Structure 1
Amino acid sequence: MDALRIAATLISLDEVARFCHELAERAGLAPETAYRLRLATDELATNVVMHGYRGGEGELRLAGGMDEDTVWIRLEDDAPPFDPAAGCKPPTPDIPLSRRPIGGLGIHLALTALDGFSHCYADGHNRSTLVMRRHRTE
C-alpha cells in the first residue's frame, strides 16, 4: 500500500496527480483508465481543498493499492462532513447554461468515471474510496 500526506492546498494537487499516475502505472492500467482515476481523484481532492477546508489549513491523506482485479485510492480529510455522492445529479442538458445552478458537474463526471465509489464519515474524518477495475470486462 502506498500513502501520501500533504497540505490541503491547490499547489499540493500536483502531488495527488503524481501519486495517481505512479499507482496506475504499477497496476498496468490502460491509459484511459488511468486518466479516469486521476481525473476523479483530482476532482475530489480539489473539492476538499476549495469547499471542505474553505481555504483554511488542513491535510489530505491518500492511500492506494491494488489486488488482482482492482486499483483503489482512499482520500481522507478532517474537513466538515461531506458525502460527494449525496445529491449528485446528472447534468440537465435541456436547461440553458445561464439557468443551470453552479456546481456539481465535476463531481458527477468524477463519480461516473469510476468503477466504484464509497464514502463514510467516522471519527471526525471524511473517507472516500475510489475504485477502478484493472481489466475491462465486457
Structure 2
Amino acid sequence: MTDMVERARTSRVLDVPATVAALGSIASFVLRLAGAAGLDKGATYRLRLAVDELATNVVMHGYRGGDGRITVRGRSGPGGVQIVIEDSAPPFDPVEGRLPPAPGVPPQDRRIGGLGIHLALTSVDEFGYAHRDGRNISTLTVKAEGTDRCPPRP
C-alpha cells in the first residue's frame, strides 16, 4: 500500500449507473480528488484521462449498453490520488486488452481498439487489476509532483 493511501486526507465513493451520461459525474469526482491532493495540471490530466478511458470502456464494452453500475472509490492525500473502479460486467483485465502503438504502421492499417487502454495505463504511476466476487476492480494511482514517481510503462 502506498504512503499516499496511508496518509489519505480525503476518501470518497461515487456509485453511478453505467451510462454515458454518468461519465461527467465520474470526471468531476476525479477532479475534486485531484484538487484535494494538490495535483498539478499534468498529473490531474493523466488521472482524468485514465479514469475516463476505463469508465467509458465499462459502459460501452463491459455492459454493452445494458443495465449496470460503476462504483468509483477515491483517496487523495499529500502524495497523490488513488482511484478504484469497480463493476460487475464480464471479467476484463485492461492490461490484457492493451494495444501498444505500432510505429511505422499507418493509422488506417492498425487494429481497431485497445489503444485507449494503452494510453490510460501509461498515464498513471501505478495500475492494478483483480476480478473478485464477480467484480472487476481496477486501481489507478497518480503521484503528486515531488513524490517518487514510477517511470512510464512500456
TM class, shorter-length = over 0.9
Alignment of 1:1-138 (within 5 A): 1-136=11-146, 137=148
Alignment RMSD: 1.3
Tell me which moved more, 92-101 or 40-49. 92-101
Q: List per-residue Cα deviations over 1:101-133 (Å, max 9, x = no partner).
A: 100111011110100000000100000000011
What stretches of structure 1 move > 4 A for 4+ residues in a row? Answer: none
Supply the distance in 1 between the matched residues of 2:90 and 2:18 (Cα, whole angstroms): 14
Of residues 63-72 and 51-60 in structure 1, the stretch that sits farther from structure 2 once superposed is: 63-72
Post-superposition CA distance 1:27-63 (Å, at most 9, x none): 0000110111001000000000000000100000000
Q: Write the distance in 2 (CA, Å) between the matches of 1:86 and 1:57.
A: 25
Provide the residue aligned with 2:4 in structure 1: none
SS at match of 1:86: helix
Structure 1 residues not aligned, in runs of 5+: none
List alignment gaps of at least 5 residues for structure 2. Answer: 1-10, 150-154
| Corresponding letter in the other structure for 2:121 | L
The amino acid that maps onto 2:123 is: A
Cα distance in 1, alignment partners of residues 66 and 99 from structure 2: 28
CA distance in 2, matches of 1:46, 1:87: 14
Change (3 A) 1:10 1:87: closer
